[in-house]
Structure 1
Amino acid sequence: MDLLRFITCGSVDDGKSTLIGRLLYDSDSVSLDVLATLEKKRNATNSDSVDLALLTDGLKAEREQGITIDVAHKYFTTPRRKFIITDAPGHVQYTRNMVTGASNADLAIVLVDARQGVIEQTRRHTLLASLLGIRYFVLAVNKMDLVGNDEAVFQKIKTDYDAIAQQLRLPHVIAIPLSALNGDNVVRPSRNLGWYGGPSLLQHLESVPTVADANPHEPRFQVQYVIRPQTEELPDYRGYAGRIQSGVYKVGDKVRIQPSGLETSIEAIEVNQKEVPSAEAPQGVILRLRDDIDISRGDSIVPVHTHPAVVREFEATLCWMDERPLKAGRKLLVQHHSAVVKASVAAILQKTNIETFESVGTDEAKLNDIVRVRLKTAVPLVVDEYRSNRQTGAFILVDEQTGSTLAAGLVTATDAEYFTQELAIEPAFSI
């Protein structure tokens, strides 16, 4: 069976955790011991039904406040497909958590409270999901029972969201009316919404095409650890451990080490301490090369016929996550998987207006702003544009002093003049 990763997002109190709980509960994906615990809590509170949100709200603070704070992952399987669900918080101050959850999702369920309609968080989360490369969207209009299952209310919200989809050029969007609390249109179609002739939420999740995995992309591998045991049994052993980020690697492939540009070939591939003829994303492997080459943590090993950008300056879209505003000239760290390099913000080019999605000029980025910037790094980075490879086009910005995460970033443009061998030798600037 194939696998679909999806995220639920939207504003606070739209019912995301309850929706996921209903999906798990009605699809018989809740274990007996968990069901027994829910029943005990229901009896203790003299409630008429179990609190399905407790299936995902695992933190004590979440249960006390009735909100989602952390990103929760749940797994379930139907006869047709396997699923990984990410429940993202709705509060604007937890936007960083939503970005983390959406980074690996194939589909986004955007919940809207039927009483509230489309609001700022609806727009914000849709924009972020779109920027993060999600192609399939479900507009889940929840709590239809609280508006009398009125079709006109649903159609108005659908029309408002269609305008957002057109602005962002979302390729695949479906709108589904439902009630997570009552289970209407979640797993099975409901007679209470008889005017709706489309699939239930689960029926759609089971039928939507899965996004192609990482393997069709050009092969990418970044070194996480250099293994040199130097024992009597293995005096000359040298292996490069890491995870294949995309594509397929085979023994005998001619490869280039970036950013140095030196070429060699793959002598052996090890998976779980056994040699294999080939390996593919997202496997963790050890690559052994035919030639002894100076290779360090953060270097990339790529086939000679592929050309990732080797850059010291590039443009990126950031979701700023720090309370201290970002200004041009600030020095920080760029962490691109295993590679961590010093960098500075050369310029803040523009900010996205959440209400209109238009780009506007700005000289700073505040908490939760989405901005486009130009970054300069002290040493070259090996990257791809995010639209062509989600794995190698993503990075984070880190504070040098505290180590805290400042922003999630997506590479949006690279410059050909920075791809020369000379850039790998001398720093572009000092930090």
Structure 2
Amino acid sequence: MVHHLKAFYYFLFLYIYFFIYFFCKKMLDFLCLTDPPPEPAGENMNSTWINSQDSLDKQSPTSEVNDKSPTSDGHVPADSWEEAADAATPSPSRETPPTPDEDDEDEPSESDTIEKKKKKKPIEEEEETFKKEPVNVIFIGHVDAGKSTIGGQIMYLTGMVDKRTLEKYEREAKEKNRETWYLSWALDTNLEERDKGKTVEVGRAYFETEKKHFTILDAPGHKSFVPNMIGGACQADLAVLVISARKGEFETGFERGGQTREHAMLAKTAGVKHLIVLINKMDDSTVEWAESRYNECKEKLIPYLKKVGFNPNKDIMFMPCSGLNGTNLKEPLESSICPWFKGPAFIPYINELPPLNRNITGPFMMPLVDRYNDRGTIVMGKTPVTIDTLWRDDDEVNAVHCGENVKAKLRGVEEADIMPGFVLCDPSNPCKTGRVFDAKVVILEHKSIICAGYSAVCHIHSVAEEVTVKMLICLVDRKTDEKSKVRPRFVKQDQVAIMRFETSGVICMEAFRDHPQLGRFTLRDEGKTIAIGKVLKVVE
């Protein structure tokens, strides 16, 4: 009897044990607690954000990063000494970007859905933006001429900065004893820039007119930050040279070693063809809208601007203004203030500028001018990547057009592997890379002679790389363009020569005649621009 009871309890225990086991297993399966679902493709740690100088008229889902490439194949006109490279390219009508098929997309997570609701621009609004031509405009000139103030005033007048924000800037500026600088804080967002009252990095902002979508590039005016100015100039379609009419300030910027001359020359070298000269601070007590002071500044500027390659009759527009008060920026001047100027105001004038000729049929090339979290090592070579997301003006979009400043999220590359100066391009038609190249160079300013072995810093768009003269090939006559038959031993100021250069690292470049934006460069030494040049041939 005892043995029968033991057997009964034994089988009862086993029955209860297996019942509990299978019951718990079924419950776990039902609650999906066994294995987590795999992460959706494209949401891994290999995604990185980049800022781009330019983009072409089509999406490129799979592209290739060429390291150390400075420029875009988008339109910036050639300079006056190679007009053949500036042939106009007809722009075909732009098509509305296709709406992605919802069935083909991965199911978004809750956080992604919230983010898209906040940031995703409606398709209708996107189409409206595409109808407006993108134009990149850089404000250049000597320090304290009023570039950032004019930029901030334009943002306020076009509704990009509201009155409450402006009042906040005004209070904060007053606390720092900089009452008249509050408008510049719309662009000078860095605390160091606000404390010192000087622009250091190229500021970036946006505004729209009836016909165009403008990107403001606010260049630093101090001579210590000329390399930053060059990086901004290479992105520009239009340059605005800001001049201070205040007594003594114009002379300091133009005649006494200021940056007015160098900035104008660098803008032309970077490919900017149309220049607007804003003669600012006309309301100052030393000027009081005097026509004589306006004409004095104009007459001194025109000969120099003509010398660097601008045509005074068709490339330059002069305007008086007051950046602090906004006079002649949006509304025309009243005759009671300035009876002698009958021209248009600044914003209406740039709204009516003719469309730019962009090479939208050329190979896809998108220069990278910035990235997030500057860390890690540089990886040389070619890296296939995929464009995951596109952003314009902090709004997520489906497509971007040639000439726009955009932000892109790349998949397939670590952020430490991307540096400013790399270029995103079509794998089937990549940019040329090399270290040795032949170039035609104009020596602008150099006290001593230049021989083989001379080193300087080469600014080829957003890349600054040390170069050495390997060989002097020949001299070129500035009038007849004839080449000397004897190889020169040296070159000096005001001479034109063909030289062979070698860079310290690999960069991306093309012959100027093929891609002007990939073939222009500036040579600087000891804080001065000594020469400008164009690439003739990439040797190796």
Normalised to the residue count of structure 1, the TM-score between the two structures is 0.62
**Is 2:472–2:499's contact at 8 Å kept on the other side of the alignment?**
yes
- Helix, strand or coil for the counterpart of 2:437? strand
**Is 1:223–1:241's contact at 8 Å kept on the other side of the alignment?**
no
Task: Note the C-alpha offset of 1:44.
Answer: 4.9
Give unmatched runs, 5+ long, in structure 1: 225-238, 243-269, 287-296, 321-325, 351-360, 366-370, 399-405, 424-431
**Is 1:298–1:340's contact at 8 Å kept on the other side of the alignment?**
no
Q: For residues 123 and 241 of structure 1, do their structure 2 counterparts lie closer, same or farther at Cα, with a shift above 3 Å needed?
A: same
Q: For residues 373 and 154 of structure 1, do their structure 2 counterparts lie closer, same or farther at Cα, with a shift above 3 Å needed?
A: farther
Task: Note the C-alpha offset of 1:36.
Answer: 4.6
Q: Please name the residue that 2:137 is paired with.
A: 6
Q: Please name the residue that 1:124 is paired with.
A: 262
Aligned equivalents of 1:3 and 1:54: distance in 2? 24
Aligned match for 1:174, one of 317, 331, 341:
317
Q: Please name the residue that 2:329 is paired with.
A: 186
**How many residue pairs were aligned?**
337
Q: Please name the residue that 1:140 is paired with.
A: 278
Aligned equivalents of 1:61 and 1:364: distance in 2? 40
Q: For residues 145 and 412 of structure 1, do their structure 2 counterparts lie closer, same or farther at Cα, with a shift above 3 Å needed?
A: same
Aligned match for 2:502, one of 367, 373, 376:
376
Aligned equivalents of 1:190 and 1:57: distance in 2? 28
**Is 2:205–2:216's contact at 8 Å kept on the other side of the alignment?**
yes
Q: Please name the residue that 2:303 is paired with.
A: 163
Q: Please name the residue that 2:60 is paired with.
A: none
Task: Note the C-alpha offset of 1:164.
Answer: 2.0
Q: Please name the residue that 1:412 is paired with.
A: 534
Aligned equivalents of 1:200 and 1:77: distance in 2? 16
Q: Please name the residue that 2:193 is paired with.
A: 62
Map Cα deviations across residues 17-41 of structure 1 (whole Å, 9 max, x no partner): 1111111112222046623522533
| Structure 1 segment 27-426 matched on structure 2, within 5 A | 27-31=158-162, 34-41=165-172, 44=175, 51-114=182-245, 115=247, 116-117=250-251, 118-119=254-255, 120-146=258-284, 147-171=287-311, 172-191=315-334, 192-216=337-361, 218-219=362-363, 241=384, 272=388, 312-315=436-439, 328-329=452-453, 344-346=468-470, 374-376=500-502, 383-386=509-512, 388-393=514-519, 412-415=534-537, 418=539
Structure with greater strand share of residues: 1
**Is 1:314–1:413's contact at 8 Å kept on the other side of the alignment?**
yes
Task: Note the C-alpha offset of 1:415.
Answer: 4.4
For residue 203 of structure 1, what is the amino acid of its counterpart? Answer: P
For residue 340 of structure 2, what is the amino acid of its counterpart? Answer: W
**Is 1:314–1:411's contact at 8 Å kept on the other side of the alignment?**
no
- Helix, strand or coil for the counterpart of 2:331? coil
Aligned equivalents of 1:333 and 1:167: distance in 2? 24
**Is 1:394–1:409's contact at 8 Å kept on the other side of the alignment?**
no
What is the root-mean-square deviation in Å for CA atoms of aligned residues? 5.0
Q: For residues 311 and 411 of structure 1, do their structure 2 counterparts lie closer, same or farther at Cα, with a shift above 3 Å needed?
A: farther
Q: For residues 128 and 13 of structure 1, do their structure 2 counterparts lie closer, same or farther at Cα, with a shift above 3 Å needed?
A: same
Larger radius of gyration: 2
Structure with greater helix share of residues: 2
Q: For residues 125 and 317 of structure 1, do their structure 2 counterparts lie closer, same or farther at Cα, with a shift above 3 Å needed?
A: farther
**Is 1:312–1:378's contact at 8 Å kept on the other side of the alignment?**
no
For residue 302 of structure 2, what is the amino acid of its counterpart? Answer: D
Q: Please name the residue that 1:230 is paired with.
A: none
**Is 1:4–1:210's contact at 8 Å kept on the other side of the alignment?**
no
For residue 122 of structure 1, what is the amino acid of its counterpart? Answer: T
Map Cα deviations across residues 116-150 of structure 1 (whole Å, 9 max, x no partner): 25434221111000000001101110111120101
- Which moved further from structure 2: 182-191 or 46-55? 46-55
**Is 2:155–2:207's contact at 8 Å kept on the other side of the alignment?**
yes
Q: Please name the residue that 1:25 is paired with.
A: 156
Aligned equivalents of 1:272 and 1:281: distance in 2? 18
**Is 1:113–1:141's contact at 8 Å kept on the other side of the alignment?**
yes
Map Cα deviations across residues 236-264 of structure 1 (whole Å, 9 max, x no partner): xxx9636xxxxxxxxxxxxxxxxxxxxxx
For residue 65 of structure 1, what is the amino acid of its counterpart? Answer: K
- Helix, strand or coil for the counterpart of 1:140? strand
Task: Note the C-alpha offset of 1:103.
Answer: 0.6
Map Cα deviations across residues 323-356 of structure 1 (whole Å, 9 max, x no partner): xxx9852689989899999964325899xxxxxx
Aligned equivalents of 1:19 and 1:196: distance in 2? 19
Normalised to the residue count of structure 2, the TM-score between the two structures is 0.51
Map Cα deviations across residues 361-391 of structure 1 (whole Å, 9 max, x no partner): 98899xxxxx996313699977323465244
**Is 1:19–1:180's contact at 8 Å kept on the other side of the alignment?**
yes
Question: Which structure's relative contact order is higher, taking Cα pairs within 8 Å and 6+ residues apart?
Answer: 2
For residue 189 of structure 1, what is the amino acid of its counterpart? Answer: P
For residue 143 of structure 2, what is the amino acid of its counterpart? Answer: V
- Helix, strand or coil for the counterpart of 1:70? coil
- Which moved further from structure 2: 182-191 or 160-169? 160-169
Task: Note the C-alpha offset of 1:309.
Answer: 9.8
Q: For residues 138 and 312 of structure 1, do their structure 2 counterparts lie closer, same or farther at Cα, with a shift above 3 Å needed?
A: same
Aligned equivalents of 2:296 and 2:264: distance in 1? 18
Give unmatched runs, 5+ long, in structure 2: 1-131, 369-381, 390-398, 411-421, 445-449, 475-488
For residue 159 of structure 2, what is the amino acid of its counterpart? Answer: D
- Which moved further from structure 2: 16-25 or 341-350? 341-350
For residue 347 of structure 2, what is the amino acid of its counterpart? Answer: L
- Helix, strand or coil for the counterpart of 1:51? helix
Aligned equivalents of 2:465 and 2:177: distance in 1? 57
Q: For residues 126 and 362 of structure 1, do their structure 2 counterparts lie closer, same or farther at Cα, with a shift above 3 Å needed?
A: farther
Map Cα deviations across residues 165-191 of structure 1 (whole Å, 9 max, x no partner): 321231411000111112111121122
